Structure 1
Amino acid sequence: MSDQNPVFIPGPTNIPETIRKACDIPTMDHRSAAFPPIYDKARAGVARVLNMGVGGEVVLFPATGTGGWEAAVTNTLAPGDKVLAARHGMFSQKWIDLCQRHGLDVQVVEAPWGAGVPVDAFAQALAADTGHAIKAVLVTHNETATGVTSDVGAVRAALDGAGHPALLMVDGVSSIASIPFEMAAWGVDVAVSGSQKGFMLPPGLAIVGLSAKALAAMQDAGLPRCFFDIRDMLSGIYPYTPPVALINGLAASTDMLLAEGMAAVAARHNRIAEGVRRAVAAWGLSPCAQSPELYSDTVTAIVVPEGVDGNALVAHAASAYGVAFGAGLGAVAGKVFRIGHLGMMTDVMALAGIATAEMAMADFGMDVTPGSGVAAAQAWYRETRAG
């Protein structure tokens, strides 16, 4: 696969040269006075990207989003605590599995893959929990496997409607820094992300935002933690060797995002995603997401016709054209292929991915007219181009 071609996977994403260079720094003594300003700048930038508000904290672990999930759970909950979660895709399932491995009592609401978080079922469960046994509600904001974005604000409304004090924890790994995320306005207590998606960095940082309520919950949390102990992270000195280069890159990333403006970042993602969706419609195919209000602006999972193996299609695109698309995962493995369109992405890059997908589908004998999706996306991009 050529490293000159952009990737169209939902992470790791393409890295802008400015950020790549920011990660390319000489070895630094992380116990010297040179490191704290870098760390503080990166954390402050993330807080602004999250729209965190006052009273919260950002911590940065040398890990990926999964490490962020573990930090969220182990720092705020106690053994045997009940949590409410929905299973509607690969990553919501993984978070449930992580909680169960930590001895938590997970009340699972089942939903189809392609559906969003079942807000009505959550509201019923919260209203029925008059003893407030549920200590946390878990939401996968953007289900990467199916290309579905759920309504976090509606879950907060369900919590408030039931007068329920549970913590609201949100997996924003493939949403934060790409699509609207309002930590304070939505009353999110723990927000988890990773460096390798909307922040456009290499993998290696788990990014965790905590509200004042989540910070207070740490005092009574009883689950074991050591490496992921947020109390150590907030002690005033980084508790182990920090990934200085990635943190310097994160400071550059947040500078870039905030200079563009988070509203503009979200609008760009929406516009590019809509071009991809119009291409999918022109091919006569459909997204895995059940309805338009669920369509993700960071990744589109495309259902392939019966008899076509979506994962084989992805492998063919990689071997024949040197372009990476996302394979289907879990319950939709082989049934979809995914086009990631987040992070560093432009109209021109998106068109290259659409054209390559058309070539691969034509090679597989699918009934797709070469150029049809490209033309549909071109028309949209021309109609909505900046300026």
Structure 2
Amino acid sequence: MKTQLQKRLADLAFPQLRLLAPGPHGLSPAVTRVLREYTADYTHRAPEFKTCYSRTVELLRELFHIPDVYVPLVFGHTGSYNWEMVAVNTPSDFRTLGVDIGSFSKRWAQVFSDRGRQIDVVHADWGQGIPPNRLTEEMRNGYDLVLLIQNETSTGVALDIESLCDAIRSVNPDAYIGIDAVSIAGATDVDIGRIQPDYYLWSLQKDFSIPTIGSVMIVSDRAADLARTVTDRGYVLDLVEWLTRAESSQTPMTVADLTLRCITARLEEMKAEGPARFDRHRRIAELHHSWAKTRGLSLLAEPGFESPTVSAISLPYGITGPQLTARARVHLNAQIAPGYGATADGYIRIAAMGTTTVKEIEQFLDGLGLILDNWEELS
């Protein structure tokens, strides 16, 4: 017979497994419909493919405020490939500056280093951000290319990329800027025409709520011109070839029309929700924060740098991230994540991505609190 506690937890459990970890995130309703109904109706060189590709690009331009001097590219590979694409398609003698504010941000710099490129890195302790004045100082060292991350998934830290781009250009107006937006693209209102990055890239399995079947990179015309000056661009990562094929709504290597259909469905879903989706993400993140504060717990992110899509929350003494993650799976049918790397034991990470609602997060946090309050009884 179930105890009263077990009944309360059962009432708060999701009927189907909910992915509330930073990624891959749960599928959105529109994406789920595409996957359920998909049939292979045409080849990747058919006119229908071009129509599908064109619609995807049209929606990307609309929702991300992309001017004509930029080209959105859709790939069949994950976003990590695009780190290397930037390295391959920029001059080897470019002085490059990267950032390290967590486990994932430093990997882009590592890609450059592994390719024999000179790259300096701005470091911040986990949980800390990088203010604009720090980049202003660094830029006085004469960098040609700066690689930023908008949202660090391992720590729940978000950077103010608009202010950082302004800081970079205040010293070198001609500097090229790359932005990795893998765990935030779609959750905040990004105006490409305002921030003017040269490369803005993300994967699909985070806020886009699509399986890991592709990625997107928005590329400036001047980045395209720069790539044309580079020899040995390779085959798969040749940016010039991708841009050339995009002019006719095509790709040099096969990108599944399923990827395009999923992106289009998700973008139409975002468009239908309108600006309310930004408020929803913000409200969910605030729920994470207030829940933690009420329990005497803290965020890993320092004030002013809290992510709207990932919250890394400290845990009470004697309870580890893997333990609480496991109990959330058993009792609430929800998958969250422990902290990452050195923070794995002391933190959990909860996402505010996709079409997750405020009500669902309220339900989940009530259940998570119940687990913490009755930790010994549930042991």
TM-score for the superposition, normalised by structure 1? 0.87
Pick aligned residue for 1:317 from 319, 328, 340: 328
Q: 1:93 to 1:361 in 2, by over 3 A?
A: farther
Shift of 1:41: 0.8
Conserved 8 A contact 1:80-1:103: no
Pick aligned residue for 2:279 from 262, 267, 272: 267
Tell me how far apart the structure 2 counterparts of residues 223 and 52 of structure 1 sit (CA, whole Å): 29
Aligned: 1:32 with 2:43: no
Shift of 1:73: 2.7
* Pairing 1:111-130 to 2, within 5 Å after superposition: 111-129=124-142
Conserved 8 A contact 1:178-1:198: yes
Tell me how far apart the structure 1 counterparts of residues 205 and 15 of structure 2 sit (CA, whole Å): 17
Tell me how far apart the structure 1 counterparts of residues 316 and 94 of structure 2 sit (CA, whole Å): 43
State the match for 2:290 in structure 1.
278
* Pairing 1:177-216 to 2, within 5 Å after superposition: 177-216=186-225
What percentage of aligned pairs have identical amino acids?
A: 24
Aligned: 1:139 with 2:139: no
Aligned: 1:70 with 2:81: no
Q: Deviations over 1:295-340 (max 9, x none)?
A: 1111111012344321332133224443100221123222210111
Aligned: 1:357 with 2:368: yes
Q: Deviations over 1:76-97 (max 9, x none)?
A: x133432111211111122121
| Corresponding letter in the other structure for 1:16 | S
State the match for 2:112 in structure 1.
99
Q: Deviations over 1:36-79 (max 9, x none)?
A: 0101111221222222222110111112221222223322x133
Conserved 8 A contact 2:332-2:364: no
Tell me how far apart the structure 2 counterparts of residues 357 and 225 of structure 1 sit (CA, whole Å): 49
State the match for 2:30 in structure 1.
18
Q: 1:358 to 1:240 in 2, by over 3 A?
A: same
State the match for 1:90 in structure 2.
103
Conserved 8 A contact 1:113-1:146: yes
* Pairing 1:160-175 to 2, within 5 Å after superposition: 160-175=169-184
TM-score for the superposition, normalised by structure 2? 0.89
Conserved 8 A contact 2:228-2:240: no
Pick aligned residue for 2:348 from 331, 337, 347: 337
Shift of 1:222: 4.3
Shift of 1:365: 5.0
Higher mean displacement: 32-41 or 14-23 = 14-23
Conserved 8 A contact 1:79-1:223: no
Q: Deviations over 1:103-147 (max 9, x none)?
A: 221111111111112432221121232xxxx22111110111111
Return 5+ residue gaps in structure 2 as ranges. 1-12
Return 5+ residue gaps in structure 1 as ranges. 367-387
SS in structure 2 at match of 1:318: helix
Higher mean displacement: 357-366 or 119-128 = 357-366
